[in-house]
Amino acid sequence: MNNRFDLKRFGQVIAEDWKLYLRRFGVTLIVWASLPVLIWITSLVFEVEIDPGARAGFIAAFIIATVMTVPANMYGKANLSRDGVSFAMLPATSSEKFLSMVLYCSIVTPLFCGLGAWAVDSLLTLLPFGGFKEFVIPFEMDHLFHNLLFAAMLFLTESALFMLGNMIFKKRKTGKTFAWILLILFVLTLIIQIDFIWNGLDYLMVQITSPIAAYWFGIAILLVLTTGLNLFTYRRIKNQKY
């Protein structure tokens, strides 16, 4: 097989992964996108109004949960010695498999879950009863582009973390990845408390004199982190032995 990227072959991989996506994650995705119904029922039972901001937070939590779980559901066997042979034997290059993985884990899943949950929430808001009185507007229109970009980068970084964890761990992939993320954050928090590092970060923040500069600095950090994590995942796929 030609090891160069082929658009037609890539399209075939996407089509095969779509069938796999529907079979392994379709029902789960529908469940997560429908969870606003439970919140609405709770508001109806207890006769309370649920603030749109709180509902937007719930939708964001649903997206986070789906992005965490989709790599293991879709590609959980990709790094297993026996069960991963089917993934290894796909008539596609490592780059084509990796890009299809990114498409479904990092783009399709958060979009489907977010838009689905928002649509369900909006339909419930149209009802004359229940605790949904105002429509959820995910972002302030004055800063729509910046907020959308930052949210997208956060979900891309989260997805990159769990895709890499899926290719590293053999069992309990999602749980182990989450545990390692917590451990790394804990260690980083301890390191930051060291005086000279804290002073260096404090000096750096002083140099960032405007909110827009701080915003783009955060975007740059997320972009570098996401790129690095995805490169590691690609290398794992390319060098995986069966």
Q: Tens of pLDDT along 71-95? A: 999 999 999 887 777 888 888 899 9
If you average pLDDT over each of 183-187, 190-194, 229-233, which comes out highest?
A: 229-233
Residue 38 lies in a domain: yes
| Residue 1 lies inside a defined structural domain of this protein | no
Taking a C-beta distance cutoff of 8 angstroms, is the pair 161, 181 a contact?
Answer: yes
> What is the per-residue pLDDT for 3?
72
Do 99 and 16 contact (CB within 8 A), yes or no? no
DSSP secondary structure letter of residue 143:
G
The mean pLDDT value for 111-120 works out to 95
The pLDDT of 50-66, averaged and rounded, is 93
Q: How far is CA 146 from CA 54, 95, 142, 216, in A?
A: 21, 30, 9, 9
156 part of a folded domain: yes
Assigned domain for 193 exists: yes
- Looking at residue 91, its pLDDT comes to 85
For residue 89, the model assigns a pLDDT of: 83
**How many domains does the chain divide into?**
1
In a domain, 2, yes or no: no
Average pLDDT value over all residues in the chain: 88
Chain-centre distance for alpha carbon 130: 31
Q: Is residue 45 part of a domain?
A: yes
The total number of residues written for the chain in this structure: 242
Q: Considering the entire predicted model, what is its pTM?
A: 0.89
- pLDDT of amino acid 169: 95
How many whole angstroms separate alpha carbon 42 and alpha carbon 69? 26
Band (161; pLDDT cuts 50, 70, 90) = very high
Does the residue 34 lie in any domain? Answer: yes
84 within some domain: yes
Q: Inform me whether the pLDDT recorded for 197 exceeds 70.
A: no
Record the tokens describing residue 199, joined without a space. Answer: 């002073």
Q: Domain of residue 142: give its range.
A: 7-239
Q: Is the pLDDT of residue 2 over 80?
A: no
Is residue 106 within 8 Å of residue 194, measured between CB atoms? no
What is the arithmetic mean of pLDDT over 52-71? 94
| Cβ 66 vs Cβ 109: under 8 Å | yes
